[in-house]
Chains A and B, each alone.
Chain A
Amino acid sequence: MLRNFLIALVLASFGFIFLNLYNSYEPKTELTGIAAHYAENGASEVGAANLVTAVVVSYRSFDTLGEITILFLTAAIISFFLKLSNEDENKIIIHKGTSEILQTASQLLIPLIFLFGVYVFINGHLTPGGGFQGGAIIASGVVLAIMANPNMTINHTVIVWVESLSGVTVVIIGVLGIILGGGFLDSTLDGYGLGEFGTVFSAGTIPVIYSLVGLKVGAEISNILNKYQKSQKES
């Protein structure tokens, strides 16, 4: 009883705060400060049609490097946390087979889902989407594969290599920005131009960085899924 009362009190106070915030909210009418700078100079400075990508991968790319690190840390902590003992690791559990419809549909859909994920991260600087979204779509294909065939094993070596190589390459491109561009992770390299605005090969190193981020995120999420799947063996 007291507990319910306290919960109601907490929610009511949150509601009160939010109501005040809502009432004092005045809709913006124009871009101000840094956003105006991004809108005005984004196309000429970075060359990306999608300004959100320009902000994420060029202006604030250090932030993105932090995000990749956080995802990597999450995958590492989960690997450590769900670590199996040696005898559990070698145990073989045969799961019940899944329905025919799911298996057949997954054979058709998984390549398409992977293709769509690759499309989303390669066109991250032109259309809505980007590395993180594309990686998540690829991982959703992996989820479908696991659901259709619970006995499948994900090749751990491939995942680890894709993840590490793309992570290292992003940092190498970042260092290249110090030598050829304006600073660490600068996407515009001097002497190489930005390419024609609105095409796939434009915006400096943004498509390369975002594709690598997409591969890395896809590999990392698949790694986490792999750990979840394997931990069923734990006794």
Chain B
Amino acid sequence: METLELGKIGLLIGFLLVIVGFWGILQQKNIIKIIVSFTILNTGINLVMVALGYIKGRTAPIIDDSVEQLANHNVINAIVDPVPQALVLTAIVIGFGVTSLLLAYAMKLFRAKKTLEINQFNDLKW
């Protein structure tokens, strides 16, 4: 069996986490568990995005001595793609905002019915 390179491992684990997150959102009954599943899904997507920017044998996009040793002062041949990492930073911040809103909503729901089981919230069900 051929050895997987780091980028492909990241991609695989990311996709796996996305599927686990979707399973949790669809299957779990407890609202807190649904929120946790949401963050797992979020992490999976972030991991996929970072893995897409990976280039074999290169180092982090921070210019220091190690970069200069690696490619003879030629930065362009020594670092991985910095753009997906910058975009993931944005995605993490937005994920944080959404998660905290979800938690506030869960608190309000618990105050209303004294339970977190999603089956109990059937006011709009017909």
Contacts and interface: CB of A to CB of B under 8 A. Distances in A.
A39 B82 contact: yes
A129 to B, nearest CB: 10
A70 B94 contact: yes
A36 B76 contact: yes
A94 B61 CA distance: 50
Contacts of B64: 49, 198
A11 B89 CA distance: 27
A71 B97 contact: yes
Interface string A206-231: 00000000000000000010011001
B15 to A, nearest CB: 4
| Interface of B, helix, strand, loop or mixed by DSSP | helix
Interface string A20-55: 011001011111001110111011000001111011
B19 A228 contact: no
Given A25-B11, A39-B82, A70-B94, A78 B100 contact: yes
Given A30-B55, A35-B81, A56-B86, A40 B60 contact: no
A21 to B, nearest CB: 8
Contacts of A231: 107
Interface string A120-138: 0000001110101000100
A74 B102 CA distance: 11
B37 interface: no
Given A15-B19, A52-B89, A27 B104 contact: no
B76 A39 contact: yes
Size range of the chain B interface in the assembly: 35 or more
Nearest to B7: A27
Contacts of A126: 62
Contact of B23 (A11, A40, A132, A227): A11
A78 B101 contact: yes
A14 interface: yes
Interface of B: 5, 7-8, 11-12, 15, 18-19, 22-23, 26-27, 52-56, 60-64, 75-77, 79, 81-83, 85-86, 89-90, 92-94, 96-97, 100-101, 103-105, 107-108, 111
Which 7 pairs from chain A and chain B are nearest by CB?
A74-B97, A51-B61, A55-B86, A18-B15, A51-B82, A39-B76, A7-B26
Interface of A: 7, 10-11, 14-15, 18, 21-22, 25, 27-31, 34-36, 38-40, 42-43, 49-52, 54-56, 60, 63-64, 67, 70-71, 73-74, 77-78, 81-82, 126-128, 130, 132, 136, 198, 224, 227-228, 231, 234
